[in-house]
Structure 1
């Protein structure tokens, strides 16, 4: 795939490396290594930034190398990028496959000596090795490693989204008050899992997936069981390790996770036979939802704690144009045209290239500029988009889902 920076200002595509099911023959008996926490782990905060795909990006040290990482509780065993400087080809054992969003991906195994992350040190063990394309992790620049269940699940994980930091604590601590929800590590899938209530129905298991940039993702059978009558839907696109997936998109009026009731939650519905069905779960709760809270994840204590942030009850952004675009070499490339949208009604197609918006060229900092707001403009706004081939198209925004 081309190195495209996806722009998320208008309910655009989410990124979801998600669950990686290891091939057991590749992993030695002590594959998880031995993790220990420093006595002062409570003050060893790890700073992070959020990628364009809502993923928690930070640095750690692996075998004396500083690596760029993503915190991904939806990965059963941490994944090192094959192109990372830490991936020594001579020491990688290949031969397995893993289930990932978009299909299966080939994997290998690399033994490691020492990994350091905040107040945690892991000795021994190893990491899965796979291709980590930049697009699958939400940025134009690829990361080195996805930090998964094998490294963090033995501790409590305190994620302070408002201050862009997290820390690892001994299990059982309760550093702040909030709504309680169930949390465990699946003995078979070996990832964080929880549950929710939608339309009066309990939905479980749901993978609690900090590596997934969406808010809530459901399997098609689960959606059929809980979908509110008359709820309008459209389509969107998501990216996983194995490629792109087109999903149904809607705004769910109400969602309960444990004691927390959330309203107007964006939900994506996978195609029939999609990733969630393949691994036997109802869906995933992602960082698109979690980022509005301070979150404590403590599977050993059987709980998650959600403390609402100032924007926890703010409705999600909705596209009013129907064009999901990515930045490519100073232009905007249409990645997906949302079903029943203004763009779908006016002849747009994936692959179209946009060079101007209302006469203005696409700036290098487009994603952070006010110009990017055209795709979520108030209904009735007329936007004039200049194609790179010279044609000019007008699009009138409206609410369509």
Structure 2
């Protein structure tokens, strides 16, 4: 499946729990006790990459197979309230947690045994919250978000090119690559690093595999880089607590440790956005990480980036300006990008499209070539049949 354009609707899953939420004390509480099998380096976990750039796989929780997303931006793993593994009788109230888009209600569920690749965790528990499908990058919801509490004690080796990852002992360096700093913040308890934009250091940056975007910056961090004169538009993303509208631009150069990347999409949150609220400069997401083989080893203080075949390929860009969500048999307009052809033609959020160039919207739209109309070459004219029976044409144009 090709990478989505920089303007695509992407999920942003970052959940910070109040310290009092997670039970503390002996190893049977909180994070539990995790051990690695002697052959953990051979126990690869296969995954598929969702339309929103997220790592989706299966693990075993209390003898049940559950679908999950690997999410280093979550301070403590989350189980969906409607998952078969979430026993309502054992869930206790956990108050609220800070998520992208606002606050979400959470609970706490103790667990006995979790198995993921070569890792086994005994004891501990999971946070319980609503996990809507839209916030996890697919029309299909998952049962769980696997966060820092499960992965951070080991090195996490993500082989995006071959759709597999593994957990191995910290300190190993299984392949060469560019080094970058990495740690777990004591207060936020998530993976964090730093970057350089326009010669200015941007830190801390949450390294967030659950965020479908490449780079997201807070308004103060963006202003500090003095990159505001770049051509820009707007886009929308979805967090656990709702939608977020951001400014979108393409950075000519981004430096992460020893690695220099070119033409990287950047999303700028509105003033007072999530990153600013929790005291970080922004997030480095899977839209960037998927271009590399990535080793995340916070105990060793490092991230390793080994370029893959897509590392220097410019991001796809919308030439239509319509950001749509897939519904049965139709597309719903969720956002009209500023300065786009769609904005010029007067498109509005909430309108629905049932036909594209006189063909119906297929069930597999997100992964099909039918969706390429939104990134067509400038000058391409697309016939869009609205569900009310009217038809409009849209002429593609580069606008950011």
Query: TM-score category by the smaller chain?
Result: over 0.9
Provide the aligned length of Structure 1 versus Structure 2: 395
The TM-score, its normalising length taken from structure 1, stands at 0.96
Match of 2:262 in 1: 263
2:333 is aligned with 1:340: no
CA deviation profile, 1:1-47 (whole Å, cap 9, x unmatched): xxxxxx94562121011132235155232300000000000000000
Aligned counterparts, 1:280-295, within 5 A: 280-295=279-294
CA deviation profile, 1:249-308 (whole Å, cap 9, x unmatched): 011110000000000000111111111011110000000000000000000000000000
Gaps of 5+ in 2: none
Match of 2:113 in 1: 114
Structure 1 residue 313: deviation in Å?
Answer: 0.2
Match of 2:11 in 1: 15
CA deviation profile, 1:151-205 (whole Å, cap 9, x unmatched): 0000000000000000000000000000000000001100000000000000000
2:162 is aligned with 1:163: yes
**Structure-1 separation of matches of 2:203 and 2:5:** 30
Secondary structure in 2 matching 1:343: helix
2:76 is aligned with 1:80: no
What is the aligned-residue RMSD (CA, Å)?
A: 1.2
Secondary structure in 1 matching 2:373: helix
2:322 is aligned with 1:323: yes
CA deviation profile, 1:351-388 (whole Å, cap 9, x unmatched): 11111112122122222222211110111111111111
**Structure-2 separation of matches of 1:126 and 1:367:** 35
Which stretches of structure 1, 4 residues or longer, exceed 3 Å deviation after superposition?
A: 7-10
**Structure-1 separation of matches of 2:138 and 2:75:** 22
Moved more, 13-22 or 135-144: 13-22
Aligned counterparts, 1:1-400, within 5 A: 8-9=4-5, 11-29=7-25, 30-228=29-227, 230-400=229-399
Structure 1 residue 326: deviation in Å?
Answer: 1.4
Match of 1:4 in 2: none
Secondary structure in 1 matching 2:227: coil
CA deviation profile, 1:229-259 (whole Å, cap 9, x unmatched): 5311100001000010111101111000000
Moved more, 382-391 or 68-77: 382-391
**Structure-1 separation of matches of 2:36 and 2:272:** 41
In 2 relative to 1, CA 10–353 (structure 1 residues): closer, same or farther, beyond 3 Å? farther
The TM-score, its normalising length taken from structure 2, stands at 0.97
Moved more, 264-273 or 352-361: 352-361
CA deviation profile, 1:86-113 (whole Å, cap 9, x unmatched): 1111111104110000000011111111
Contact residue 23 and residue 97 of structure 1 kept, 8 A: no
Structure 1 residue 315: deviation in Å?
Answer: 0.2
**Structure-1 separation of matches of 2:296 and 2:353:** 42
